[in-house]
Structure 1
């Protein structure tokens, strides 16, 4: 079986899932080739299991005109079982090739459908996205296939690596430093919890503002900016609580990664978590943008170990039942077998 991917994303949760899926499919004998941006930090994680073509596909770049011709030629030569674009912009790259099924995988809510003129099936990672595209007028195929993450428990890092004392409460979060990820809300929440340390993994355009906010709150001694990490699981494993504070989050891969390490999770009441989280059963849900609500939820978990253990166990159980590699990879392979 052969699959060609078109992925022009940067660095974040969607890219982590792309890496996970490419490797999962490779383990099942699927031959793959991918068009990606140059200089991606995660390229090394698919190199060797997936052929790679690098291109920016920018509006003023020669590749904007040459790459569509190239991917059509590649499809005709390779004769794959499926073509798969990741998100909206790469879907414009989808060639009008009639020899196989053409899929566009959506991890967010598109604003319009003209990206998908050559797409046969939209693969949505939540039911809400599926309903949204139908409401926009999509009449071709829709499938809901969610994400998975590695379920392997990893040994924690030593807290000394991040100049963090043993025994202090540690809250962790990670992602791109952009406003919708809500890191500013989380910083304000932790500022009201004396003695609680905060680890933030990631980077992005809001980094300078977040650092300034930490300084303004007098928190520099207990906040650690740890940058992008190829392997985040040892950091998650070393923390006490994981928090996702996004104002908009179609799924929330980072929650699945925290569940894999048996960590209790506090999440915003954004779209994805409202689908798969039940407050008090597999996590705690806080009001979007409300630092007091996040602080209260974090404090509940720190002060009630029975509750923390219960929601951590509930999260791990939900992960294993709904977001396993076998279930997700098998669903994609069955889809690849379809005729257009």
Structure 2
């Protein structure tokens, strides 16, 4: 079985970081021997060690960070991996040399100069893989490896609405993500302002927290918007929702769409890169134009007013999840890829 060295130089929160924390234990359950090198983060390290994984925390600093480079090389010599998998541009810079197959895992349209030391690149959407090849990377060394969302099980307990001062009869919209311009939450707030009576739970943190809070006040919907901060109970949040919305301007994949499908929630999304590839409009979700708050408002109102349509979309979304984005399906693809490319 493959021996895998994984290198994650990400932030404390983020879609790639969350998937890394799902994938590493899943690969361990499938029998892969792993050693994880992560940017220093005591909480992440504790979670991964609790899953039985070997973890080393490193700095992953700038060009003068010789310690990380030397330590990664020493661990590689001791652990003797078949494959080293780098997450994020900075991790790719520290890939160890030697008789190791070096793989860069991309979840966005990054500058490929950071991945020159790699033998293979893996993208998490077909469009991203096509883009990598168009940049001149050999097509036979570009591989599609999708993400999976954890199965929440048959019936996660919804969060009590009174926990967030939400009337039990209110139509509840849930959105998740970093409070960043790319995520389009300003568009969502303008849309919610046009949907009378709907309440929005927005889970996430980021640089736009104060600006979005002020926008809700200006739009007169502060009483209908709850800023929840970062949460680690996504399945319960989704179970609480009447519908889930992804308003992103830029979204290479859309982990949150897959998570909402896993929870069998109806989804409406702006037609950015990832969601427009995942969602079949009108079949397993609704797509609206990017940056169009009028269209978003119309879509929200349509789903909230038509429970039968919402249920149909939710059921088809769950079927798409079962077919393509379960842990078993995605882990099998990773293992097949590792076995195929290792020396």
TM-score band by shorter chain is over 0.9
How far, CA to CA, are the matches of 1:40 and 1:230 in structure 2? 16
Residue segments in structure 2 that go unaligned for 5+ positions in a row: none
Alpha-carbon contact 2:8-2:87 (below 8 Å) kept: yes
> Equivalents in 2 of 1:209, 1:123: separation in Å?
36
Aligned to 1:333: 335
Shift in Å, 1:77: 1.1
User: Deviation at 1:41?
Assistant: 4.9
1:126 and 2:129 correspond: no
Residue 232 of structure 2 corresponds to residue 233 of structure 1: no
Point out 4+ residue stretches in structure 1 off by more than 4 angstroms. none
Matching residue of 1:93: 94
In the alignment, the residues of structure 2 paired with residue 39 and residue 301 of structure 1 have an alpha-carbon distance, to the nearest angstrom, of: 41
3-state SS in 2 of match to 1:46: helix
CA contact (8 A) 1:244 1:267 kept: yes
Q: Is the 8 A contact 1:151 1:320 kept in 2?
A: no
Q: State the shift of 1:35 in Å.
A: 1.8
**Distance in 2 (alpha carbons) for counterparts of 1:89 and 1:170:** 39
d(CA) in 2 for partners of 1:150, 1:124: 20
**Residue 317 of structure 1 aligns with which residue?**
319
Q: What are the residue-to-residue correspondences of 1:52-63 with 2, within 5 Å?
A: 52-59=55-62
Query: 2:288 is matched with which residue: 286, 310, 332?
Result: 286
Distance 1:27 1:241 in 2: 33
Deviates more, 1:144-153 or 1:241-250: 144-153
Stretch of structure 1 that moved more, 36-45 or 288-297? 36-45
Secondary structure of the residue aligned to 1:66 is helix
RMSD: 1.5
In 1, the alpha carbon distance for the partners of 2:77 and 2:157 equals: 46
Matches within 5 A, 1:1-340: 1-10=2-11, 11-39=13-41, 41-48=43-50, 49-59=52-62, 64-98=65-99, 100-111=100-111, 113-139=112-138, 141-153=141-153, 154-337=156-339, 338-340=341-343
Q: Does the 8 A contact of 2:39 with 2:57 survive in 1?
A: yes
Q: Residues 45 and 57 of structure 2 are in contact (CA less than 8 Å); yes or no, is this contact kept in structure 1?
A: no
Instruction: Report the alpha carbon displacement of residue 44 of structure 1 after superposing the two structures with TM.
Output: 3.5
Would you say the 8 A contact 2:83–2:342 is kept in 1? no
Per the alignment, in what secondary structure is the counterpart of residue 85 of structure 2? Answer: strand
Q: Write out per-residue CA displacement over residues 56-76 of structure 1, whole angstroms, 9 at most, x where no aligned residue.
A: 32227x6x2221121111111
1:134 alignment partner, SS class: helix
Shift of 1:198: 0.4
Write the deviation string for residues 168-223 of structure 1: whole angstroms up to 9, x where unpaired. Answer: 10101011111000111111110111210000111011111111111111212111
| Separation (CA, whole Å) in 2 of partners of 1:91 and 1:84 | 8
Mapped partners of 1:8, 1:339: distance in 2? 23
Q: CA deviation at 1:235?
A: 0.9
Change (3 A) 1:79 1:95: same
| C-alpha distance in 1 between matches for 2:43 and 2:211 | 24
* Contact kept in structure 2, 1:95 and 1:118, CA below 8 Å: no
Equivalents in 1 of 2:217, 2:42: separation in Å? 31
Q: TM-score normalised to the size of structure 2?
A: 0.94
Cα shift at 1:336: 2.1
Q: Is the contact between residue 253 and residue 273 of structure 2 (CA under 8 Å) also seen in structure 1?
A: yes
Superposed displacement of residue 96, structure 1: 2.1
SS in 1 for 2:49: coil
